Structure formats: structure tokens, C-alpha cells
Amino acid sequence: MERKDMLKKNKSLENTTALVTGGAGFIGSHLTRALVKKGYRVKVLDNISRNVNCVQDLRTDEAIKFVKGDICDLPLLLQTMKGIDYVFHQASVCLRRCNAFPKEAIEVILNGSHNVFYAAVHEKVKKVIYASTSSVYGEPEYLPIDEKHPTNPATPYGATKLCVDHFAQFMAHKSGLKFVCLRYFNVYGANQSTDAYYTSVVNVFIKRVLARTPPIIEGSGGQSLISLMSQMWFVPILWHWRVTQRTRFSMLDTVRDVRLRLSLS
């Protein structure tokens, strides 16, 4: 299916409902907008813990239903999930905060995700699409990392995310939870915090170029990144489609592109 066709609103989805936990954040807000464009009736649950709401315009225009709340609040989750077909579980705690407050990682990522899965089963949700992380792999033993790579998380963030991965499997066997687990790597784009611990190398390059200081590249600069070309990569996951359009480029290519786009020599 062509991208332009995917971005057209599908009238057959007008009665299909989706809940996005953490939908006011960086990745969640892009997902929310894509679902709205696709034709879903979207509800967002977010506690605005970072004091930023990236979907405020959609809330103002009543394009979405916004619920300010926390995934640790099970009664609220059960109420919010009534009538929902699909849950996109993006709510989490950032890596830096997990390192500083490991107990919060357990309370939010592990216990909060349990609440999401429990509520999904209770309310007969068709599928949960859960945001995991490449941090479950720890230091890579080989590159590129694939699904067969050993898991060896070295942070509270990665450890709790891996626990959630396994707990989802447990819930699938015990209670019939239907889920897809996506292990995000280094994601970058609009609405991303430029000061986060896991800030993309692309953002770091942009900040240094704007400050007219040379970007720092470890090694030869030949290390490669992969850019996913589809804006709608998360929506087709519902039907087990796979992303096939991607471009591999080096760190040096990235710096050159940043300089070009910022019109700096």
C-alpha cells in the first residue's frame, strides 16, 4: 500500500477505537496523530509528567478524547478502556529517571504495565501494542542486533521492560491477552526532548552544528544508522505488516545532511 493511500482517512475505521497511553509525549503524540488521520476514534491517557502536552491542539479541536491520569491507577484504567478495540501502550519512565529512582521504574513500567494488560483482558481489548526497548539487549555482542540477540539489560529501565515483555507472554497464556511487543531503538523526530538522557545522536549533531561547534564522531564515522521511511509504521502492526522501506546511512552522512538542511557549510 502506498504511503499517500495510508494517510487517507478510512471510513471503515470510524467506529474503531484506540487508546494511547503516554499519548501526549514524543512517540505517543506522533502515533496519536497518525491514528486520527487514519480514521480511528482515539483516546489518550497521559499524566503530563514532563509538563508537555504534544496533542493539546487535537484536544482543543476535539479530535481526540483526553484523559489526564496514570497507568498506576487501575480503576481509572478500567474505566478509560471501556469500549476500546486496540491499546497502544507507550507510557513509561525515561532511562535517566529510572537510574535515579529504580523503584519508580518498578512501580510505573512493571506494575503500570500489568495494570494495562489486566484492564485489556478485563475489557476484552482486541490487541495491545506495547513499546519495549532495545535496552533489553544491553551491550551488543554483535551488530546489527536482531531478535535472536541475548538479552542482558544493564539498567533498571531495560530490566523492567524485559520483565514486562515476559509478563505479557504470561498473560497471553493465562488470560488470552493478544499483544505485539516492539523494541524501539534510537528514535528521533519532532517533539523530542533535546536534553533527555537517550537523546538521539541526530539531535546532538543538530545542537552542535547550530552552536557552530564541530560534531563529535567516535571512530571513523562509518558506523551506520537505519532510517525507517514509513510515517505509518505503527498502524500496520495491527495486521502484522512489516516495515520494508529503510535506508542505511553512516554517521558522516548524517552530519553532512544536518549541515545541508541547516544551510551551514
Instruction: Tell me the catalytic residues.
Output: 157
Q: Which three cell numbers stand for residue 150?
A: 541475548
- The set of cell numbers assigned to 17 is 477505537
Gap between the Cα atoms of 15 and 20, Å rounded: 16
Element (H, E) at 259: helix 251-261
108: helix, coil or strand? helix
- Nearest C-alpha neighbor of 123 from the set 89, 79, 165, 164: 79
Rounded Cα–Cα distance for residues 45 and 248 (Å): 35
In the chain, which ranges are E strands? Answer: 17-21, 41-46, 64-68, 86-89, 127-133, 179-184, 224-228, 246-250
Residue 101 Cα distances to 63, 105, 129, angstroms: 36, 7, 26
- E strands of 69-200, at which residues? 86-89, 127-133, 179-184
User: Other CB atoms closer than 10 Å to residue 248's CB: what's the count?
Assistant: 10
- The C-alpha cell that represents 42 in the structure block: 482515539
SS3 223: coil
Maximum Cα–Cα distance across the chain: 59
